[in-house]
Amino acid sequence: MATLEFPTAEQIKDLVEATRAGFKTGKTLSLDWRKKQLRGILRFCREKHSQILEALEIDLGKSSFEGMTSEVVSVEWEAHFALKHLNRWAAPEKVRTPLLHQPGRSYILKEPLGLVLIIGAWNYPVQLTLVPLVAAIAAGNAAVLKPSEVSQATSRLLATELPKYLDPNAFTVLQGGAEETTQILKLPFDHIFYTGNPQVARIVMEAAAKNLTPVTLELGGKSPCLVDESADLALTAKRLIWGKFFNCGQTCVAPDYLLVEKSVAEPLKTQLLKAVEKFWSGHPETHSEYGRIVNSRHFDRIMGLLDNSGKVLCGGKGDKAKRYIAPTLIADPPETSPLLKEEIFGPILPILEVDSISEAVNYVNDRPKPLVLYLFSENPKTQEFVLNHTSSGGVVLNHCLLHNLSPDLPFGGVGESGIGAYHGKAGFEALSHRKSVLKKPFYLDNPTIYPHLTGRLTKFTEQLIKIWRKVRA
């Protein structure tokens, strides 16, 4: 696998064409080859875990525990899951053959799409680059990887070390920024897998359209969290604070804002403050398990969201030199606040009070469809109402984030929050083509389908159609 840190447009073209040539050899069709590549990813995660954790600490201030669980182990989990189920996923799928086509046999073949472009994201730079790669490999594709240039240390590690564990003719890692990504997108691919924000996703989709390239877009948005009066408030607060401030709030599925029934708003705020105090012993600025903002630009953006934002319950301060922003809770932000307009993607949690869950549902439905919706409630009727009257990429009842770590659950958005889904079998299917096959023998040819039928055959065919219509009525 060739890697260049800042390739020229001509070098990018040559590398992409060489990778496509690797796919055209047909080697990726072999399940044994695919399994070997998946095991290579597992070896990369295990043998380079110290370097991975070090890079994540440099880029995002991630603790070893946070980096291991959310990045390294999540990739290993997906690779193991694919290895376990690959034979079954890839097997031809038998389907019914209609009487009209008898004798015959119908089935579906799962074939690779070809060359896949994977554009990773900076907030989980290992997970969001390698989990899509697991899906691409399982489906039998070659791939070009473009890690995010924002997480520089991790991007450099993936470019220099990952190639040692994969087939050099079928996978390429390209580094660079917006200019290099623009050059890559000018080239034809068989699928583009992008994780990031909706603004860049529109650019990716526009570039893909020029080559009629299908896309998977894993985006974000403002994921709401609803809390009703039946919720266990202490446990709700504990789980919310963990989910919101994991990775310093730089998580696409982080709760973006709370909609809390007024009857429990004040006691919930008290429990949230207690959880913040307990988790980081009152000093998140020095705590080893509280992360950092990825760079100065994002620091300025997040701090700018606090202008005229509402009542600060805790936090609200930062240190740009250390890329530190305190865990911040904001009560009753005005409707004009940017906290309620933009995806926060940082350690700030606005809290809004509502009279009822019905009001909360209306509030959610008046906005773009979120990547995930959270509901904390022990009331089955409330749970059913919210599930049936909202649309989101996914839903978690009474916890946060955990659905993202289940290979059995498809992960993806809807509308503004994304197109398509992956993880586990869903990833295999997203990067496979289901090719329909009808196999007919040379005996028992059906004479009724051909032109120049005799009058008797025409009447016989018409009678068959009438009988079929009665049976189907």
Which residues are catalytic, by number?
218, 252
* HEC profile of the chain: CCEECCCCHHHHHHHHHHHHHHHHCCHHHCHHHHHHHHHHHHHHHHHCHHHHHHHHHHHHCCCHHHHHHHHHHHHHHHHHHHHHHHHHHHCCEEECCCHHHCCCEEEEEEEECCEEEEECCCCCCCHHHHHHHHHHHHCCCEEEEECCCCCHHHHHHHHHHHHHHCCCCCEEEECCCHHHHHHHHCCCCCEEEEECCHHHHHHHHHHHHHCCCCEEEECCCCCEEEECCCCCHHHHHHHHHHHHHHHHHCCCCCCCEEEEEHHHHHHHHHHHHHHHHHHCCCCCCCCCCCCCCCCHHHHHHHHHCCCCCCEEEECCCEEHHHCEECCEEEECCCCCCHHHCCCCCCCEEEEEEECCHHHHHHHHHCCCCCCEEEEECCCHHHHHHHHHHCCCCEEEECCCCHHHHCCCCCEECCHHHEECEECHHHHHHHCEEEEEEEECCCCCCCHHHCCCCCHHHHHHHHHHHHHHHHHHC
Q: Which residues contact 468 (CB under 8 A, 6 or more apart)?
A: none
- Cα distances from 103 to residues 92, 106, 126, 441, in angstroms, run 19, 10, 51, 7
Instruction: With beta carbons less than 8 A apart as the criterion, state whether 346 and 368 touch.
Output: no
**Is the four-CA dihedral 361, 363, 367, 368 of positive or negative sign?**
negative
Structure token digits, residue 434:
């289901």
Q: Which of 254, 200, 472 is nearest to 371 (CA)?
A: 254
d(CA 239, CA 233): 10
User: What DSSP assignment string belongs to 52-93?
Assistant: HHHHHHHHH---HHHHIIIIIHHHHHHHHHHHHHHHHHHS-E
